[in-house]
A and B are shown apart, each in its own frame.
Chain A
Amino acid sequence: MVLTGKSIKNTLTALVAVIPSLFFANPAADTTLVHAETAVHAEGEAHGHEHAPVDKKSKIKAFIDHHLKDSHDFVFFSDEAEGKHYGFPLPVIILDNGLHVFSSSKFHHGEEIVEADGNYYALHHEKIYKLDSAQAELSLDEHGHPTNPQVLDFSITKNVVAMLFTAALMFFMFVGLAKSYKKGPLPTGMGRALEPLIIFIRDEVAIPNIGEKKYRKYMGYLLTVFFFILILNLIGLTPVGINVTGNIAITLCLALFTFLVTQFSANKDYWKHIFWMPDVPVIMKIILIPIEILGTLTKPFALTIRLYANISAGHIVVMSLLGLIFVFKNWIAGPSFFGLTLFISVIEILVAFLQAFVFTMLSSLFIGMAVQDHHHEEDHDAHTDEEPIII
């Protein structure tokens, strides 16, 4: 068969057309799954074997949920039959009337209660709760959330390890690149791939949004954030599959950095536009104050949710498709879902770059809006058209 450009295009179009149906199918499946699950719980253990497929589905769902979450230990794979997990533990650091540090292996993956300096702690869905005594059990409410008090958990989790790894990688990569410039004007080795990205961020992101005069000050932040998100996104796509950027705490922290950089670099015009909008009637000025303040807060919120949702969705889709291979377990579903997973994974690589770019782009846009010079009174109307629209 000769694959012409057009037939490849058509195949791709057909595949893309199929994707939404899969996406919309998922929540429906999930809801039935939940119903089935509760049904299983209600009926008890008696029909356990008859509900084997449902059991498998819920297991996959639990696995995906677990995968999306941060983890207190590194598990590469588990042997279900023997209940063994292969990986290595990470340090747990708890702030609860003093600092308690112990290895996460003591939890035995959430199966055992740990005693530290006379206090008892339990691990439930990767959160650490305080217990009254060694014999006590976690008391769950009707939603399945524990009612025990949660402790401040500063553990070096899987995500923290991934971030430390990324930070170290970035440091060595870019310090290496910086050193390579001392030898000659052109970078060598990996620097050849990194330099175009740096120049891209400067020429396509920083300069158009912040302006030729002021961009230089923000390049350090923008470049760091871009490569940090990009590398973490890409690490999430490796078989190690650490979902760091699909974590709300991470994205919120990143967005907060952008927010702080924006607020601290904002000039007089920026604050004037928030608290006393020029060229509008006084009543409108007063009405606009809360709207503008809300506007400054929705920007980091949008940044937070965008990155979190995109990366989480990617992980969920890829893992769901992989899970479907094991749900159907036949010769048609296996290869076809494998192919589809491959296809989505390729799209996820694109998304990894795209989301890193979008985050950097919007950050520079917000910074640009805060530092740009307005020449209102005379030509304010003229350039309101140029003001970027952020959705």
Chain B
Amino acid sequence: MEKLVNDFSFGLFFWQAIILFILILLLVKFAWKPIMTAITAREVGIASAISAAEAARKEMQNLQADNQRILNEARAEREAMMKDARDIKEKMISDAKAEAQAAGEKIIEQAKATINSEKNAAMAELKSQVSNLSVEIAEKLLKTELSNKEAQSALVVKMLDDVKLN
């Protein structure tokens, strides 16, 4: 302890106090303040840059999710549209088929009617011709039959019998 007290130099203490005091004041003003401000500003900048990057990443993710969703929607819509188109096509085909059938049937019907009328006409003509023919035949027959008397009387008797019978 005596050595310590002996070693103590007031002059050195005095100069040290002055130098240190001035040094602290100068460095605080010209060095520490700007340095600390710069470091803090940089750290704040880094932190905000990191959070911004994180936000951008999230946004990107959201965007990607959106894209996926839109893509899915588009795909679903396309599916629906294709399904509709297919339905419409089928419907058109079936409609056309039905129409065609109806038209066909109608034509057949008309054809049948025409055939019938033609047939009737043909029948009528045939009938008239047959009747004419038969009249002619009958005429001829009658002419031949009625050429002898016996046959004529026999016919009258026979006809009378028929009338009686009726």
Select from chain B the residue with minimum beta-carbon distance to A143: B2
**Which of A164, A177, A250, A308 is the one whose CB lies under 8 Å from B12?**
A250
Q: Does A250 lie within 8 Å of B16, measured CB to CB?
A: yes
Chain A interface secondary structure, helix, strand, loop or mixed? helix
User: In the complex, how many residue pairs between chain A and chain B have their CB atoms under 8 Å apart?
Assistant: 120
Partner of B7, one of A69, A156, A216: A69
Which of the residues B12, B13, B39 comes within 8 Å of A198, measured between beta carbons?
B39
Q: How far is the CA of A93 from the CA of B6 in the complex (A)?
A: 20
- Per the CB 8 Å criterion, the residue count for chain B at the interface is 33
| A248 touching B36, Cβ below 8 Å | no
Name which residue of chain B comes closest to A151, CB basis.
Answer: B11
Within 132-187 of A, Cβ neighbours of B (below 8 Å) are at 145, 152-157, 159-160, 163-164, 167, 170-171, 174-175, 177-179, 181, 185-186
- In the complex, A144→B158 CA distance in Å? 203
B8 and A249 contacting across the interface, CB-CB below 8 Å: yes
Give the shortest distance, in Å, between B10 (CB) and chain A (any CB): 7
Residue A326 CB within 8 A of the other chain = no
Q: Which residue numbers of B lie inside 8 Å of A, CB to CB?
A: 4, 6-17, 19-20, 22-24, 26-28, 30-36, 38-39, 41-42, 45
B31 and A154 contacting across the interface, CB-CB below 8 Å: no
Enumerate chain B residues within 8 angstroms of A250, measured Cβ to Cβ.
12-13, 16
CB distance B4 to A248 under 8 Å?
yes
A-B contact list, 13 entries, CB within 8 Å: A127-B9, A157-B9, A157-B11, A157-B12, A167-B19, A171-B23, A178-B31, A186-B42, A199-B39, A220-B28, A221-B24, A224-B28, A308-B4
B34 touches A257 (CB 8 A): no
Residues from chain B with a CB closer than 8 A to the CB of A157 are 9, 11-12
Q: Which residues from chain A contact B28 at a C-beta distance below 8 Å?
A: 220-221, 224
CB distance from A213 to the nearest CB of B (A): 14
Question: What are the residues of chain B within 8 A of A228 when measuring CB–CB?
Answer: 20, 23
- Supposing A174-B32, A185-B38, A257-B20 touch, asked if A224 and B12 sit within 8 A by C-beta, the answer is no
- A247 within 8 Å of B (CB atoms): yes
Min CB distance, A221 to chain B, in Å? 6
Q: Which of B6, B9, B38 is most buried by chain A, counting CB atoms within 10 A of its CB?
A: B9
CA distance A156 to B20 in the complex (A): 15
Most chain B beta carbons < 10 A, residue from A145, A220, A223, A250: A220
**A361 interface residue, CB < 8 Å from B?**
no
Identity of the chain B residue whose Cβ is nearest the Cβ of A186 in the assembled complex: B42
B31 touches A153 (CB 8 A): no
Q: Is A115 an interface residue (CB 8 A)?
A: no
The docked-state distance in angstroms from the alpha carbon of A228 to that of B11 is 19
Closest to B22 in A: A167
CB distance from B12 to the nearest CB of A (A): 4
A219 at the binding interface (Cβ < 8 Å): yes
On whether the beta carbons of A224 and B23 are closer than 8 Å, the reply is yes
Q: Are A160 and B27 in contact (CB under 8 A)?
A: no
Instruction: Find residues 242-288 in chain A having any chain B CB closer than 8 Å to their own CB.
Output: 247-250, 252-254, 256-257
Considering the complex, which residues of chain A in the window 314-339 have a beta carbon less than 8 Å from any beta carbon of chain B? none
